[in-house]
Amino acid sequence: MPDDSAPEPTHRALGLTDDELSMIMTTLGREPNHLELAMYSVMWSEHCSYKSSRIHLKRFPSKAPHVLIGPGEGAGVVDVGDGIAVAIRIESHNHPSAIEPYQGAATGVGGILRDIFSMGARPIAVMDPLRFGPLDDPRSRWIAEGVVSGVSGYGNSVGVPTVGGETVFDPTYVGNPLVNVLCLGVMPRERLVLGRAEGPGNLAVLLGASTGRDGIGGSRSWRLRGSPIPRPMPRSDRACRSATPSRRSA
């Protein structure tokens, strides 16, 4: 009989299966150390690689004459006619929102806004289907209040309205909510920008404040030779940025 008192193997504690450990060892040609296991755990997680849902996502149709960009870029883009393209991005921030509801949900909204910007589009609307445990459960109520505040706080700060969504409360979601956010952006079709930089001679430029030794605090944007010059920041965004204290003055 298995010894239940034996410590759990490191790879399992990090969320890796026995088969995945075998793949890692084959790739490295040796046993991985703890740091390497942790890195594989993060990069092979559902959040980063969609390892459990990818097989289901592939079943959705993603090719059609009006589909300009399918899977592989920051957001999907479709041609809606009259020279206008629409960029759509959906993000899930379930477990981060269970740990820190406000920041987890706000980061989800921020991520999809960034993805829409990166395609050359201007975000115009956010939607958020949410699932929580019953409100008579204190932790579920704390999560729900924080998530709603995070979604509205981030979206309102940059002037993108939350135009719809739905909220369901069920015991299934006690301890781990579902926090899904959708962002829609529009642009002239010719403004479409891709993240790929193919061919030699492309120049990448890093702009913004430097990242602190704590790993946060940086502001980065990349521009590739031959890509459109970014437009000036909208007035509402400038106001938000100017209202944020800089790291030097903090």
Contacts of 102 (CB under 8 A, 6+ apart): 146, 147, 149, 150, 153
| Residue 66 annotated in active site | no
Rounded-to-10 torsion of CA 127, 133, 139, 145: 30
The first and second tokens of residue 138, run together, are 């204190």
Tally Cβ neighbours within 10 Å of residue 5.
5
Which residue in the list 34, 47, 56, 95 is annotated as catalytic?
47
Which residue in the list 11, 34, 93, 95 is annotated as catalytic?
93
Mapping DSSP to helix (H, G, I), strand (E, B) and coil, where does residue 55 land?
helix
Backbone φ and ψ of 89, nearest 5°? -140, 135
**Widest distance between CA atoms in the chain:** 69
**Residues forming beta bridges with residue 93, ordered by sequence position:** none
| Residue 34 annotated in active site | no
Angstrom distance (rounded) from CA 250 to CA 239: 18
- Contact between residue 169 and residue 132 where contact means Cβ atoms under 8 Å apart: yes
Which residues have a catalytic role annotated?
A: 47, 93
